[in-house]
Chains A and B, each alone.
Chain A
Amino acid sequence: MESKTKNKQTAVDFESCRLEHENIKADFPILNQTINGHPLVYLDNAATTQKPRAVINALIEYYRKTNANIHRGLHHLAEQATDAYEHTREHVARFIGGVDPHEIIFTRSTTESINLLAYSWGEANIKEGDEIVITEMEHHANLVPWVILAQKKKAVLKRIPITLCGHLDLSDIDNIITPKTKLLALTHLSNVLGTINPIAKLAELAKRRGVIVLGDGAQAVPHLPVDVKDLGVDFYAFSAHKMLGPTGVGVLYGRRELLEAMPPFNTGGEMIREVRFDRITWADLPHKFEAGTPNIADVVAFDAALTYLEEIGMDNVRQHEINLLRYAIERFSELEGIEIQGPQEYAQRGGVISFTDTEIHPHDISTFLDSKGIAIRAGHHCAQPLMRILGKVATARASLYIYNDKADIDALVEALKEMRRYFGI
């Protein structure tokens, strides 16, 4: 695959997007199966994405030909494995805007990346009376660690509210981000509402007030071109498995001077320079934060996912999702009693379609759709405070990715119509 078109415009243009013309699905073996007698329609991409053959093969090849522990062996395989692992780190650094590879820390997940930050940076920098600012639309991963830290340090947890349309309400931002604020931690793209937050604008404002900014990019990096320098964030976290890569690999980007000043999170092997019984010195970045044998194979295979996405081009990924989102919203308007949550403007939202039916519970929606081979998510999406604000106990959520097409949306909409007949609505 090679990128034929660079599509920078945000206007909806179905025909010019190459993802509309190529059989992307054929690259994903798992999609070629039937579930409950129907072809699989996979619309649970905000939970995790499927893996292209290139990633699956990279994982198999690693174990067949390269497997060894890294960073200490003096044999051929150990060197190869180390090179492959570090190669992915360099690739990740390029993928998010060309940062220094020393600023890329591998973790288990976005959740672990944020916990690393809360326990290491938070422990060292948050004091009694300091303020930590989050938003009302955070995933528990970017919420629970800060609640715990604030409680432990007697710091104040403040939040940016959301508007009825699902945007951040910045009208009172000057009273939320104050001279006492030490950290602003916010999601780049909401996993429930689909909202794309104005993270660059907020980071600029925060920076002027000396506030450190963490972006939760778990839903953004897989779907948008992301340049952490343009965003102006100090820290940024995301996961491989939501962007075609294997599970068990998270990334924490952090500005070098901040990471260097931070104490280690996990301790033990790999993260040390010299150990005596009474004195230990830490390894340099990034190894200081990677204690123990890391998830080598999955990190190595993640490289193939990055390459796959680069060959498509992240602009095209974004364009494809805008196209499909527009088509989905049009088709959803045929459905009675179904309400989509979040902003309606395509330019300000990602391909996350949270919806509710006035009569049918999200779990019944999900079970019914599953009987038609359609995989969606139902529940609180690890955002219970947000659900309370929305006044919902749960929503159903269809989330898009590169291999989805109009036929998937059609299958979803037709099944939802049939569902209402089935439940006698």
Chain B
Amino acid sequence: MSEPLDDMYRDIILDHYRSPRGKKPLEKADVTSDGSNPSCGDEIFLQVELDNGTVKDIHVDCRGCAISVASASMLAEVIKGKSIEHAKKIAEVVKKMLKGEDTDIPDDLGDLDALQGVRNFPVRIKCALLAWVTFMEGIKNYEKGHGDVRTRVSTEDYE
């Protein structure tokens, strides 16, 4: 097997792909966001329940390739229990990492550094970004006071 392929489809990624976290839909959500990647058809539905500025629970339902599903699953795993501010910082780090910009990966990011292999496949970076931009836009709308509105996000707007 060629190395770049194994570097992208690391065991951790395949594990998240086969058994995605955050599968259970939330009964009460403060943030609801739909994301899509029109060029390849990946779609994600994301709900966040907040409690006093902290992500109490999160649900992601991603239909797409292994990379988009795994990235969404990792988001669900790492964001849960974090403050909104902390979650936003993590999302920024992930975006920078995927775009190949210099960034320190903090220790508490769990499996996320496994996404680094995606950088060798430029067309797949959007797949990995999908969950993160969908989350960020949902939070942005919540902070503007539009938490009751379902946010719609397209990765085409995040070149």
Task: Point out residues on A near B: beta carbons under 8 Å.
Answer: 36-37, 360-364, 367-368, 371, 378-380, 387, 392-394, 422-424
Contacts and interface: CB of A to CB of B under 8 A. Distances in A.
Interface stretch (B39-47, B100-108, B142-150): B39-47
Given A379-B40, A393-B43, A363 B5 contact: no
Contacts of B8: 367
Contacts of A379: 39-41
Nearest to A372: B2
A363 B2 contact: no
Interface size band for B? 20 to 34
A360 B64 CA distance: 9
A365 B89 CA distance: 33
A37 B41 CA distance: 30
Contacts of B152: none
Interface of B: 1-2, 4-5, 8-9, 14, 17-18, 39-43, 63-67, 121, 124, 127
A17 to B, nearest CB: 35
Contact of B18 (A36, A362, A367, A424): A424
A24 to B, nearest CB: 28
A313 B43 CA distance: 46
A212 B38 CA distance: 34
Contact of A364 (B18, B41, B66): B66
A361 B2 contact: no
Interface centre among B8, B41, B63 (most CB of A within 10 A): B41
Given A361-B64, A363-B65, A424-B18, A393 B5 contact: no
Nearest to A373: B2
Contacts of A378: 40
A368 B41 CA distance: 18
Contact of A363 (B1, B4, B40): B40
A311 B41 CA distance: 42
A423 B66 CA distance: 9
A279 B44 CA distance: 58
A371 B1 contact: yes
A36 B14 contact: no
A364 B42 CA distance: 12
Contacts of A361: 42, 64-66
A368 B18 contact: no
B9 A393 contact: no
Given A363-B40, A393-B63, A424 B5 contact: no
Contacts of B121: 367
A392 B63 CA distance: 11
Given A393-B43, A394-B40, A423-B17, 18 more contacts: A37-B2, A360-B66, A363-B67, A363-B124, A364-B9, A367-B8, A371-B2, A378-B40, A379-B40, A380-B41, A393-B41, A393-B63, A394-B41, A422-B1, A422-B9, A423-B9, A423-B66, A424-B14
Contacts of B18: 424
A393 B2 contact: no
B5 A368 contact: yes
A15 B23 CA distance: 54
A167 to B, nearest CB: 25
Nearest to A363: B65
Contacts of A360: 66
Closest 8 CB pairs of A and B: A393-B41, A361-B65, A371-B5, A363-B65, A371-B2, A36-B2, A364-B66, A394-B41
A392 B42 CA distance: 11
Contacts of B2: 36-37, 371
